[in-house]
Amino acid sequence: MAYDEHLGDRIRQILQTKNVPFYDKKMMGGLVFMVNDKMCCGIHIDKKYGDSLLMAKIGEEAYNQNIEKEECLPMDFTGRPMKGYIFITPQGFDMDSDLEYWIDKAVAFNKTITK
């Protein structure tokens, strides 16, 4: 199963509309969007879930505020949740406004990270 290319196009469009410089990379069977040479968000194929999930690096504070939402899952494809990263199921990004919410969270957190 390939990642959802339409979702990739939607993410690109949001980032471009917001004038966020980015590039994308294929990684681990999915697609990752890099902002300031740092992972910001992406698409992950989850075999357990059976669909493409949106991955967003939103930081621990936003993670704690959002993880209880029905559409949110801990990012734990290694068996251990990664701090500050979250998976969002398709019901959480079906609407463009919902996808934009998560992209905004990821871009905002990206701006706070120093190398």
- Tell me the CATH number at 17: 3.90.1150.30
Per-residue pLDDT of the chain (115 residues), as tens digits, is 578 899 999 999 999 999 999 999 998 778 999 999 999 999 998 777 778 999 999 999 999 999 999 999 998 867 788 889 999 999 999 999 999 999 999 999 999 987 6
The DSSP 8-state label assigned to residue 14 in this structure reads: H
Token pair for residue 82? 């990664």
CB 89 within 8 A of CB 49: yes
Hey, how many other C-beta atoms are within 10 angstroms of the C-beta on 100? 17
The total number of structural domains in the chain stands at 1
Q: How far is residue 60 from each of residues 28, 107, 115, measured CA to CA in Å? A: 23, 14, 17
Separation between Cα atoms, residue 51 and residue 49, nearest integer Å: 6
Q: Containing domain of residue 57, as a range? A: 5-112
What span, in angstroms and rounded, lies between the C-alpha atoms of 46 and 110? 24
